[in-house]
Amino acid sequence: MTIYYNFYDVAGLLLIFNKENLLERIDFANISEHFQQHVGHENHEYFVRFFDNYFSKKGVELDFSRLETKGISNFYLDIYKTLSKTEFGEKITYKKLAEKAGYKNAFRATGSAMAKNRWPVLIPCHRVVGHSSPGGYSSGIGLKLKLLDLEERYKKVMNRRLD
């Protein structure tokens, strides 16, 4: 089962589920006005709700049991779980992410985990940056910068509302 999701007019997301209705991966697609959101399984609805609430303080916390994680190392899962707790608009270096996950000197391996992330945006690898550069992004640096810009603009709007 594949669901198309228009992510805030920045990217189209293809949510690809396996036979057990676990989210296997997310691929990027061209933005389309035609997308399916209402589907039969509760896991499908969960991820649509997650993306609908992406910027909400009352957003849905990521439930890793809804992801297909077979073949992913515990190290990668630890990195992904740590990264999933970063707030939108927050950037983190590969080194700092590795340290927060409990792997002090594993910043290069953390970069590998980001490059192999099956669930971009859901596991927000676009927020991980190099010490002096934006770092890489498997779907292209242009998209990474768009996602970072979207989050930064939204964060500024929210901060103005709180003032």
Catalytic residues: 125
Q: Which of 124, 136, 27, 140 is nearest to 80 (CA)?
A: 124
d(C-alpha 16, C-alpha 10), whole Å: 19
What is residue 59's DSSP assignment? P
Cα 73 from Cα 79, distance rounded (Å): 10
Per DSSP, helices labelled H in 4-137 are 42-52, 74-83, 94-100, 107-115
* Pair 62, 26: CB distance under 8 Å: no
Of 7, 24, 42, the closest CA to residue 15 belongs to 24
